[in-house]
A = this chain, B = another copy of it.
Amino acid sequence: MTVSKLSELEMQVLGVVWLDGPCTAYHVRELFRKSPSPRYSGSAGAIYPLFRRLEQAGYVISKVGRQGKRSKREFRLTRRGMTTFKKWLREVPDIEAAVIHDPLRSRVRFLAALPADQARDVIDEALRKVRAKLPDYVVSPDRKQGSDQPFLDLAVRNAVLVTKARIRWLEEVQRKLAKR
């Protein structure tokens, strides 16, 4: 019934529920919390009311399941939920193709405010930190072979390529700073 547009987070949740089958709000929440690209915190205050809204609007349905003696509410997509989700997938808005936000870029823009040595320190540390993030994404080849989730692999591949680009960029910045 409700035709009100769903938020980005709500769409991500629909996607996870679709992928991970009947699952709890808690499961989805933990996925966001543990995600290495921290777009959403997975805060309870966001997730639980969100699932209630989604169910009331008919995008998901739940039933109380059991795992051992512990009870939990498990959600899955309705046909309506799946339709809405697929529609969202097909419509790529302009803003997603726009230049994505890189907080390091917005800092470097102002780096002339610092004396040369301090600027160098900032970039050195940033580079060290970004490099430290990379190995997490280079999945071990054996695990990658058996993967039956080609699109998850492609998502990881995005993280790798973009992170490498950021590293190369920071190295350029480093070289420019050295020549002063």
Contacts and interface: CB of A to CB of B under 8 A. Distances in A.
A143 interface: no
Contact of A137 (B89, B96, B99): B99
A174 to B, nearest CB: 10
Contacts of A103: 8, 95-96, 100
Interface residues of A, number: 66
Interface stretch (A21-29, A48-56, A61-69, A117-125): A117-125
Contact of A114 (B90, B105, B125, B126): B90
Given A90-B118, A94-B129, A96-B107, A162 B151 contact: no
Nearest to A14: B110
B155 A109 contact: yes
Contact of A161 (B95, B129, B168): B168
A176 interface: yes
Contacts of A78: none
Interface string A122-139: 100110011011000100
A26 B122 CA distance: 31
A15 to B, nearest CB: 4
Given A90-B122, A121-B90, A172-B157, A104 B97 contact: yes
A109 to B, nearest CB: 4
A4 interface: no
Given A94-B129, A165-B164, A104 B38 contact: no
A168 B100 CA distance: 15
A110 B151 CA distance: 7
The 6 A-B residue pairs whose C-beta atoms are closest, nearest first, are A97-B129, A165-B165, A37-B99, A96-B103, A105-B158, A109-B155
